[in-house]
Amino acid sequence: MEHQPYRLAEEFDRFLGDPDDPGEVFSHARCVELDDKEEFPADICRRFQEWGLPEQYVPVEYGGRLRDYEQVLQLVRAVARRDLTCAIGHGKTYLGGVCVWVAGSAEQGARLGAEIMAGVPVSLGLTERAHGSDLLAGDVRTDDKAADTEGHWLVSGEKWLINNATRGSVLALLTRTRPDGGPRGFSVLLVDKRELDEDTYRHLPKIRTHGIRGADISGIAFDGARVPRGALVGAEGAGLEIVLKALQLTRTMCAALSLGAADHGLRLGLDFAEERELYGRRLIDLPQARQVLAGAAADVLLHEAVALVAARAVQTQTAELGVTSAVTKYLLPTGTDQVLADLTGLLGARAFLKGVYAGGRFQKVARDHRIVGLFDGNTLVNLNSLVNQFRSLARGFRRGTGDTAGADAACDLTAPLPPLDPARLTLVTRHGSGVMAGLAASVDEITRRAEQNPVIGPVAAAARRLLDVTTAVHAEMEEYQGVLTEVPPAAFEVARRYTLCWAGAACLGLWTHSTDHFGDDPGTGELWRDGRWLHTALDRLLVRLGEPAAAGEETYEELLGALRAARSSGRLFSLLPQRLPERQPVRTGAAAVESERTSC
Amino acid sequence: MPVPTTGHTTESLTTWLAERIALYLKRQPAEIDPDVPLAEYGLDSVAALSLCGDIEDDFDLVIEPTAAWDYPTVHALAGHLVEELAAEAAKDGGA
């Protein structure tokens, strides 16, 4: 069955051309070169503009094409698969706009939407040098004592480590508008640098970075900049609330960056194993190499499943996005860093060298991806946010409450998505997680299917074990449910386990609700049939939860076969079909013939 | 079991809130001065949002998570809850 978000991503990818062709604007060779020179990929971003990518960042109500977040996920993933600097440097404009989509007026939304679609870069100014993730300590402020505050805010202070602070023309700025206002002392101002007196602001130098070296990570300092009163987004004093809601959206969408990086890394690892030959044996024929590749492949599909459910849940269970986004923003970056670390073991020195294998792209993607776990709410911030919600999550699980209908719709890929209603975003998930509350029903469903089809038996057994562990994890959460200050390390560990259980519940939900629609595809159908991708996903999660393995070598061998078949037939290795614009690798020998045959 | 929504006073709610916040902060309820902002006890702004879940659970009253930002002391929050409970009771009575 066709799935629209993948179709459009495929079309976009085709427009961008074959990345292996150095003559293309958005080629691998060009990205490596720009990274070496630490240059912003401006020419590549113009290609995105030509295709209309910025329209996908603007909600339809403001004149753009953003209707389903699942679509943005796949488009940004396609960019990230080639280069994270481009994905982050360009996708940042979405981040800059999102406060307005969440809380701005219709007029503000329409005006900003038009700017974004015209190619104006927009940025989001949150962090400051002295305060890191502590937004409430921000010093960028308005000065109410100045003479002409009637028509303007007078903004002073410095934002630092801001993506596109220099390139961006418009900046959504978290500003302290009331010195003693506590969490109500902040407002979001949509500052248009083009309207400011040039003497009242300056850019801070580009910061040199370990990864995404071409990105514009810099800062901006204001000194009495006159910002019109109309720049206020939402209510005065609502800034922190707006930003925390906006971050729920952006943290979920960060999954696209991790998915793309993993697609790229897995491709490089597979190609290397297929091509590398020592002493008459190819790397791909060695059991250790096969195990690493199959494990990475299992993780890639697991992450894709979680991201699919999470991106759909943005619209189907918006009120639980505080949990969904924290789980996703923790799990995908850390899980993808691990995939890249595992593949590093496979590539050996080639993972480290520049210019020896594949233009040094592997060391680049591994470096570039490191930022994803750091920005937009780091790993600990996300786990901490889950610990803060342990009380309601444990209570919800005990009672079986949460938005289960919304979770079901997120898991059924054929279900139409309702439009996003930003008013339903909330800082606290009140009644637990609908994804978790639906776990028991999914386990019943797969158990029922296993009675009809005994091949699924081991998958159903793994699902039952996941339910047991999930129940135990919620009991552990009850022990820490009073912990709201000075969170002990053990509570972070419980939160980590919670994210693994949530991921398992999402995978089971996705498989049980969607497998009947996707098992027939000639390419990706075999991943769905007999619960194959689900089997390895549950195995990976259970092992990380400290449980015995749930899938044997033969299951992983089948997955490896599917990975090789996808590569040799020009498909993305993914849960749903998508063709890639790359030319086919030319391979000799029996294995290549064999994998060609499997793809038919 | 939800506590019945009638008969709450600022005083009874002050006691309830002080107990709950003491639990969060691992302190004795007597240590919580109802007129001192909760932030000064180390209850950060994000943690304070969790109060709404307990309030809903014990009083069957849905309040904005940010109520603790708008009413930053135990006294202020108790006053807000009394008003909200009264409004809720009036609505139920009229229905």
pLDDT band, residue A146 (cuts 50/70/90)? low
Contact partners, residue B19, CB within 8 Å, separation at least 6? B29
Answer yes or no: are the C-beta atoms of A430 and A392 closer than 8 Å: yes
Answer yes or no: are the C-beta atoms of A243 and B66 closer than 8 Å: no
Test B54 with A484 for CB contact under 8 angstroms.
no
What type of residue sits at position A404? Answer: T
Distance from CA of A396 to the nearest CA of B (A): 11
Does any CB of chain B come closer than 8 Å to the CB of residue A517?
no
**Across-strand partners of A173?**
A125, A189
Residue of B nearest to A385 (CA): B46
Mind listing the pLDDT tens digit for each residue in A494-526? 999 999 999 999 999 999 999 999 999 999 999
Six-digit token pair at B30?
Answer: 């007597």
pLDDT at site A294:
98
Report the b/e string of A412-427 with b at 16+ CB within 10 A.
bbeeebeebebeebbb
From the number of C-beta atoms within 10 Å of its C-beta (0-12, 13-18, 19+), residue A196 rates as middle
Mapped onto helix, strand or coil, the DSSP state of residue A305 is helix
In CATH, the number for domain B10-89 is: 1.10.1200.10
**Across-strand partners of A203?**
A220
pLDDT at site A595:
41
Test A430 with B52 for CB contact under 8 angstroms.
yes
**Dist CA A128 CA B7 (whole Å):** 48
Scanning A434-473 for CB atoms below 8 A from B yields: none
Which CA distances in Å does A127 have to A20, A173, A530? 37, 10, 47
At A501, which helix (H) or strand (E)? Answer: helix A489-518
**Dist CA A345 CA A340 (whole Å):** 9
Six-digit token pair at A191?
Answer: 């500052």
Cα torsion A157, A161, A165, A166 to 10°: value is 100
Residue of A nearest to B53 (CA): A430
Answer yes or no: are the C-beta atoms of A536 and A551 closer than 8 Å: yes
| Polymer length of chain B | 95
- ipTM score assigned to the predicted complex: 0.86
Higher pLDDT among residues A446 and A381, named by residue: A446
Domain ranges of chain B: 10-89
Name the one residue in this structure whose structure tokens are 């993780």.
Answer: A299
Mind listing the pLDDT tens digit for each residue in A77-133? 999 999 999 999 999 999 999 999 999 999 999 999 999 999 999 999 998 888 877
Residues of A in contact with B80 (CB under 8 A): none
Scanning B47-76 for CB atoms below 8 A from A yields: 47-50, 52-54, 56-57, 62, 65-66, 69-70, 72
Among the listed residues A314, A255, A215, A214, the one whose alpha carbon sits nearest the alpha carbon of residue A80? A255
Distance from CA of A127 to the nearest CA of B (A): 17
**Dist CA A297 CA A129 (whole Å):** 39
pLDDT at site A587:
61
Low-confidence ranges of chain B (pLDDT < 70): 1-6, 93-95
Among the listed residues A17, A103, A95, A87, the one whose alpha carbon sits nearest the alpha carbon of residue A45? A87
Q: How far apart are the first and last CA of chain A?
A: 17
Question: CA-based Rg of chain B, rounded to a whole angstrom?
Answer: 13
Q: Which domains does chain A have, with CATH numbers?
A: 4-120 (1.10.540.10), 123-243 (2.40.110.10), 254-599 (1.20.140.10)
Mind listing the pLDDT tens digit for each residue in A531-587? 999 999 999 999 999 999 999 999 999 999 999 999 999 999 999 999 999 887 666
- Please enumerate, as own/partner, the contacts of B32-35 that have beta carbons within 8 Å and a separation of 24 or more: B32/B74, B33/B74, B34/B73, B34/B74, B34/B75, B34/B78, B35/B73, B35/B74, B35/B75
pLDDT band, residue A148 (cuts 50/70/90)? low
Residues of A in contact with B37 (CB under 8 A): 182
Across the interface, of A244, A482, A485, the residue whose CB is closest to B44 is A485
Phi and psi dihedrals of A502, rounded to 5?
A: -60, -45
Give the number of other CB atoms < 10 A from CB of residue A486.
Answer: 9
What type of residue sits at position A324? Answer: T
